[in-house]
Amino acid sequence: TSASHQAASLTRTTCGYCGVGCSLEVVTRDGEVTAVLPARDGPVNQGHACVKGRFAHGYLTSPERLTRPLLRRDGHLEPVGWDEALGHVARGLRAAVDAGGPDAVAAISSARATNEENYLVQKFMRVVIGTNNVDNCSRLCHSPSAAGLTASFGLSGGTDSLDDVERADCLLVVGANPVEAHPVVGARLLRRVLHGAKLVVADPRAVGLALHADVHLRPRPGTNVALFHGLAHILLTEGLTDEEFLRDRATGLPELTELLDDYPPHRVADITGVPASDLIAAARLYGRARRPAIVYGLGVTEHLHGTDGVRSLANLAILRGAVGTDRGHGVNPLRGQNNVQGASDMGALPDLLPGYGKVTDPAARSRAEAVWGVPVPEHPGLRIPDMFAAARAGDLRALWVIGEDVCATDPDANRVAQALDACPLVVCNELFLSETARHADVVLPVASWLEKDGTFVNFDRRFQRVRPAVPPPAEARTDFDVIHAAASAMGVDLGCPTPADALAECGRVAPVFAGLSHHRLDREGAIPWPCPNPDRPGEAKLYTERFATPDGRARLAAAPYLPPGEQPDDDYPLILVTGRRWAHYNSGSMTRRGGNLALDPVDFLDLHPDDAVRYDVQDGAQVTVESRHGRARLITRVSEQTAPGQVFCSFHFPASGVNRLTSDHADTVTSCPEYKVTAVRVAAP
Ligand code: SF4
C-alpha cells in the first residue's frame, strides 16, 4: 500500500442529484474528492450509479465557486465579511416587516438542501418572521403529485417502494424518461422487463424505455386526462376491475362511471392521437396483469390540469385494486431532485407544516406551537409564482432564495427577473454567481451536498444520511449554519443547534417522522416514512389496511378532460416539450462545471425529419425558437424520437433561453407550471 493510498478516505453519503437516492462512497485525498463509487449495498442502487452521481463532482473545485459573501453597493456585488452580510440581511428583513408586515417577506427553500435545512428555513419564516410565505421547487414539478396522491389516497408520497415495483408483472410508465433522468431506476425497470414483465410506455417521445415496450402510447402533449379516462373506460367495459376492492375500499365509482361514458376509445383516439387499438392493448395488459405497477414523471404533472392527471392516473390503480393490496404495486412518482420529497415533508410549503399538517388546522398548529413556543400564522402563505407577482406589485419587500436559480428554471423567465428587480431585498444562497444571484442584493456562499451533514428523502420516501466528504471552500458555510446565523443576527435562537437535533425536533412536530433519528439511520441505513415509532420499521408499502383519507377509502376522481393552456396555430405551429438528458442535471450549474460537459456539451432542439423538411431546417443548424413569451437559440437535431409537430429540448443550458419561451400557465390546483406544452415556431437565427 502506497503512502498516497493510505491518505485516501471513504465517506458514505447519498447522491445529491436526482431523487433516486443512490448510496455513494466518496473517495477523498488531501481534502479533495478523487472518485465517487456506487455503494454495493446501497438499498436503492444495489451497486449501481449513473454518470451524474459518479462523475459530476468537478464543480466542487471550480474557480467559479463563491467563497465570500457578496453585497450590492452602487449597483455592484462586492465581497464582504459574513458579519456585514448577515447584518444587512437582518436589517433588511426587519425593515420589510416594519413596512409591510410579516407577509412582506418570503423564502424559497430548496429541494437541493437537506431535510434539516428545510426544516430550519420554514421554522425561520414561521418563528422569526411570522409568515407562512415559504415554498420550495416541488411547486414547479411534483406539487400536483402531492395534491393528487393526497386526494386519492391520503398521503403525499408514492405508494410503494422501488423493490415492490420491481416485483410487478406489468409496468405502466407514464410521462417519464427514467433511462436518462433516473438511470438507476431505468435500469431496474428494464431488468424487470427483461425478466418477463410487460411494459406499457405512455409518452409523446420515443424515450429509452419505449424501445422495449409492448405498447407505446404517444398522446399529444396536454391530453393525459383523456388518455387515462380512455384506459379506465376499457377497464370498466371489459370487466377488468376489482369489484371487491371497489366495494370495500373505494368511493366515487358511480360518478366516474358516468363520466367515462364520454371517453370511448374512438373519442379518446381523436383527442390524444393514440390509435384505439393501442389503447385497448394497453388497458388489457394493465387490466389482466396479476400485479401491475404505475410509475410516472413530470409528463403527468407539469400541465394546466396536472393534478387532474395524477388523480385520473390513480383511478386506474383503484379500479384494478392494485394499490394497498398484494394485487399490485400502486402509483409511484419519480421525483426529479434529490430531496424534493423531503423539502415538502419538512413543511417548506405555504399551506402545510412539517409532516403535512395544514396551517389552517388548529390541532396541527398547536403541535408546532408547543415545540416552537410561538403562534403559527393560520392563513396559508404565497406560492412561488404568487411571490413573484407580489414582488412585481410592490407588496413583497424581501425574498430569500435558497439554492434555486429561479431566473433560469422558472417559466416565463423575463417576468421572474422583473420580480426580483422590483423587490427591495433579494438574498440568495448559492454555489455560483447564478442568474438569480446576479439580481440579488446579498449573495451568500454555501456548501454543496458533498460538504454537508443531514438527510435526504428519496422518491420512495426513504430517509437516508448525507455526510460531508470534504469541507466547504474558504468562507462558504452550510445553509443550516447560515439560517441559524441570520436568526441570531435578528436576536432569535432557533434551537436545534445540530442537524441531528433538527430532525429530532421535527419528529416532535410531525408524528409521521417521530421514529427517525440520525443515530438510527446511521445504524440501520435507509428508513421510509411514515415512521412514527423508533422501535418499528417505516412503511415501505402504504395503505395495506386502510387509506389515509378521512373514511379510510381510496377516492376515484371524476374530472373531465380540459385542453392545455396553449394550442399550436398558424403563427406557432409546434409544441415544445422540455425535459432532462442523461449527463446533466436541472439548470446544469453543477454538471456543466466538470467532465460531464464533454459528454453532452450543448443543448439541442430535437425535431422530427418531416418538420425539418417542412420548416427547411438542417440537422445541426442554429435556429431561433420563438414562443408568445420570448425567444431562445438552439442547435437543431433531426430525430424521430420526437413526434411530428413537436420539438424537445432540455432545461440544462439556461443560457439558451429555454425558459424565456415557456408560459405562465399553471396547474389550476397547485400552480405547477405547464412546462410540457408551449406553442413555438422555429426561425432562422
Ligand atoms: Fe443515482 Fe440519480 Fe445520483 Fe444517478 S443522479 S447516481 S440515478 S441518485
* Domain co-membership, 173 together with 232: yes
Torsion sign over Cα 77, 80, 82, 86: negative
Report the nearest atom of ligand 1 relative to the CA of 14.
8
Q: Of 174, 186, 169, 143, which is closest to residue 50 (Cα–Cα)?
A: 186
* Domain co-membership, 328 together with 346: no
**CA separation for the pair 411, 403 (Å, rounded):** 17
Q: Which residues pair with 576 in a beta bridge?
A: 647, 678
Number of domains in the chain: 4
Residue 50 Cβ contacting ligand 1 at under 6 Å: yes
Q: Would you state the pLDDT for residue 2?
A: 45
CATH number, domain with residue 213: 3.40.228.10
Alpha carbon nearest to ligand 1 atom 2, residue: 18
User: What letter does residue 675 receive in the DSSP assignment?
Assistant: T
Report the nearest atom of ligand 1 relative to the CA of 185.
7
Ligand 1 centroid to Cα of residue 547, in Å, is 31
Residue 59 Cβ contacting ligand 1 at under 6 Å: no
Residue 407 Cβ contacting ligand 1 at under 6 Å: no
536 assigned to some structural domain: no
478 assigned to some structural domain: yes
- Which of helix, strand or coil describes residue 422? helix
- Which of helix, strand or coil describes residue 488? helix
Alpha carbon nearest to ligand 1 atom 1, residue: 22
Residue 22 Cβ contacting ligand 1 at under 6 Å: yes
Residue 45 Cβ contacting ligand 1 at under 6 Å: yes
Pairing of strands 622-627, 631-638: antiparallel
* Domain co-membership, 122 together with 170: no
> 39's torsion region: left (phi>0), alpha (psi -120 to 50) or beta?
beta
- Concatenating the DSSP letter of every residue in 17-32 gives SBTT--EEEEEEETTE
Ranges of beta strands (E only) in 536-673 are 554-555, 574-579, 604-607, 622-627, 631-638, 646-650
Ligand 1 centroid to Cα of residue 50, in Å, is 5
Q: Which residues pair with 681 in a beta bridge?
A: 626
* Domain co-membership, 289 together with 150: yes
pTM of full prediction above 0.90: yes
Ligand 1 centroid to Cα of residue 383, in Å, is 29
CA atoms within 13 A on the CB side of 588: 25
* Domain co-membership, 387 together with 429: yes
Q: What is the pLDDT of residues 379-428, one digit of tens each?
A: 999 999 999 999 999 999 999 999 889 988 887 878 899 999 999 999 99
Q: What is this model's ipTM?
A: 0.99
First to last CA, the chain: 58
Ligand 1 centroid to Cα of residue 214, in Å, is 27
Q: Where do the H-state alpha helices sit in 445-582?
A: 479-489, 499-509, 518-524
563 assigned to some structural domain: no
Q: Residue for cell digits 428545510?
A: 118
Q: Please give the grid coordinates belonging to residue 536.
A: 418499528
* Domain co-membership, 98 together with 200: no
**CA separation for the pair 300, 495 (Å, rounded):** 40
Report the nearest atom of ligand 1 relative to the CA of 24.
6
Q: Which residues pair with 173 in a beta bridge?
A: 201, 295
CATH number, domain with residue 404: 3.40.50.740
Prior bond of 563 cis (ω within 30°):
no
* Domain co-membership, 321 together with 358: no
Residue 15 Cβ contacting ligand 1 at under 6 Å: yes
CATH number, domain with residue 586: 2.40.40.20
Residue 204 Cβ contacting ligand 1 at under 6 Å: no
**CA separation for the pair 343, 136 (Å, rounded):** 7
**CA separation for the pair 462, 335 (Å, rounded):** 12
Ligand 1 centroid to Cα of residue 68, in Å, is 30
Q: Please give the grid coordinates belonging to residue 114.
A: 437537506
Domain stops at, among 277, 299, 334: 334
Cα of 620 vs its chain's centroid, Å: 31
CATH number, domain with residue 12: 2.20.25.90
Q: Are residues 160 and 540 in contact, defined by beta-carbon separation less than 8 angstroms? A: yes
Pairing of strands 678-683, 215-217: unpaired
Pairing of strands 554-555, 250-251: parallel
Residue 423 Cβ contacting ligand 1 at under 6 Å: no
Ligand 1 centroid to Cα of residue 566, in Å, is 33
**CA separation for the pair 264, 144 (Å, rounded):** 26
Torsion sign over Cα 466, 472, 478, 479: negative
Residue 456 Cβ contacting ligand 1 at under 6 Å: no
Q: Are residues 164 and 320 in contact, defined by beta-carbon separation less than 8 angstroms? A: no
Q: Are residues 202 and 172 in contact, defined by beta-carbon separation less than 8 angstroms? A: yes
**296: domain range?**
143-334
Q: Of 206, 174, 178, which is closest to residue 282 (Cα–Cα)?
A: 174
Ligand 1 centroid to Cα of residue 638, in Å, is 28
Residue 260 Cβ contacting ligand 1 at under 6 Å: no
CA atoms within 13 A on the CB side of 127: 25
Q: Of 317, 320, 318, 300, which is closest to residue 309 (Cα–Cα)?
A: 300
Domain stops at, among 498, 528, 558: 528
* Domain co-membership, 44 together with 176: no
Ligand 1 centroid to Cα of residue 409, in Å, is 20
Report the nearest atom of ligand 1 relative to the CA of 585.
5
Q: Which residues of the chain have pLDDT under 50?
A: 1-4
485 assigned to some structural domain: yes
Ligand 1 centroid to Cα of residue 497, in Å, is 30
CA dihedral 670, 677, 140, 562 (to 10 degrees): 10
Q: What is the pLDDT of residues 175-210, one digit of tens each?
A: 999 988 899 999 999 999 999 999 999 999 999 999
Please give the C-alpha separations between residue 406 and each of 125, 437, 438, 441, 497, in angstroms, as whole numbers: 19, 9, 11, 15, 29
* Entry field: residues in the chain: 685
Q: What are phi and psi of 594, to 5 degrees?
A: 165, -165
Cα of 162 vs its chain's centroid, Å: 17
Burial label, 604 (beta-carbon count in 10 A; 0-12, 13-18, 19+) = buried
Q: Fill in the amino acid letter for 162.
A: L
CA atoms within 13 A on the CB side of 569: 6
Q: Which residues pair with 32 in a beta bridge?
A: 29
Alpha carbon nearest to ligand 1 atom 4, residue: 50
Report the nearest atom of ligand 1 relative to the CA of 182.
7
Q: Would you state the pLDDT for residue 4?
A: 46
CA atoms within 13 A on the CB side of 155: 27
**CA separation for the pair 457, 479 (Å, rounded):** 17
521 assigned to some structural domain: yes
- Which of helix, strand or coil describes residue 681? strand
Ligand 1 centroid to Cα of residue 21, in Å, is 6
**CA separation for the pair 169, 285 (Å, rounded):** 10
**CA separation for the pair 164, 186 (Å, rounded):** 15
Task: Out of 25, 45, 464, 580, give the residue to mutate to test ligand 1, the one with the largest number of ligand atoms within 8 Å of its CB.
Answer: 45
552 assigned to some structural domain: no
Ligand 1 centroid to Cα of residue 10, in Å, is 18
591 assigned to some structural domain: yes
Ligand 1 centroid to Cα of residue 13, in Å, is 12
Pairing of strands 678-683, 574-579: antiparallel
**CA separation for the pair 138, 664 (Å, rounded):** 16
Domain stops at, among 283, 307, 334: 334
* Domain co-membership, 117 together with 74: yes
Q: Of 144, 210, 158, which is closest to residue 180 (Cα–Cα)?
A: 210
- Concatenating the DSSP letter of every residue in 352-385 gives B-GGG-BTT-HHHHHHHHHHHSSPPP-S----HH
479 assigned to some structural domain: yes
* Domain co-membership, 50 together with 126: no
Ligand 1 centroid to Cα of residue 189, in Å, is 15
**CA separation for the pair 673, 662 (Å, rounded):** 9
Q: Where do the H-state alpha helices sit in 289-425?
A: 298-301, 306-319, 340-345, 362-372, 384-392, 406-409, 413-422
The C-alpha angle with vertex 345 and arms to 537 and 489, in degrees rounded to 5, equals: 120
* Domain co-membership, 398 together with 514: yes
Q: Which residues pair with 579 in a beta bridge?
A: 650
**CA separation for the pair 245, 318 (Å, rounded):** 8
For every residue of 95-155, which 3-state class applies, written as one string?
Answer: HHHHHHCHHHEEEECCCCCCHHHHHHHHHHHHHHHCCCCEECHHHHCCHHHHHHHHHHHCC
* Domain co-membership, 176 together with 313: yes
